[in-house]
Structure 1
Amino acid sequence: MAAIVEELNTSRGTVQKRLDRLIANGAIRGFTVRTCEEIDETVLRATMNVKTSGKKPAAIIKALNGLPEVVAL
């Protein structure tokens, strides 16, 4: 996002609000991650964003960290 903010010469908040509007009206339907070619293609990798609600983010983080599949959080 920093590159977008710098290129547009605007604030991060402005860029985020615009992205939120584009997502809400369906102009943006999703995001993806492009990895460098040097990464071993035989290894399955995934990146996930998790949005939480409520007042116990520490408990959610602890539970996610307890999953053996989670390598980094």
Structure 2
Amino acid sequence: MDDLDHQLLALLRHDGRAALSDLALRLGVGRATVRARIERLQARGDIRGFTVVTPADMAHAPVRGLMMIGIEGRGTDRIMRQLGGFPEVREMHSTNGRWDLIVEIWTDTLEALDGVLARIRKLDGVATSETSLLLSTRKGR
């Protein structure tokens, strides 16, 4: 992925229903370029789908947390693939600095969150972690 792909993904994360012409204008490229890049990102699996999050969705998963994960060696890609199989994992972000990944987790209860955290900590290559509960969201997508 190049810089344009990253910019396109950032715009789509903000508004997954944005018109191709609006995306093209903001990126400074043609509509056909945006369409081709979206199709390529989907074909490669970089975009796995588009979703809508409603207030009702958040009510069904009222416990939300951010888990910062430190990974031993070069296992980041493998661990991200494994985390992709956790239904409670809503988003994953690779980062620089102290933590290798930041993972957003949604569950029904604190006990369920505790169980997910325990499963993640047992993954081979997870060296350290720290989790913070999300108390409120001021601005969502």
Give the alignment's TM-score, normalised by structure 2. 0.23
Which structure has more relative contact order (CA 8 Å, sep 6+)? It is 2
Higher strand proportion (structure 1 or 2): 2
Give the alignment's TM-score, normalised by structure 1. 0.42
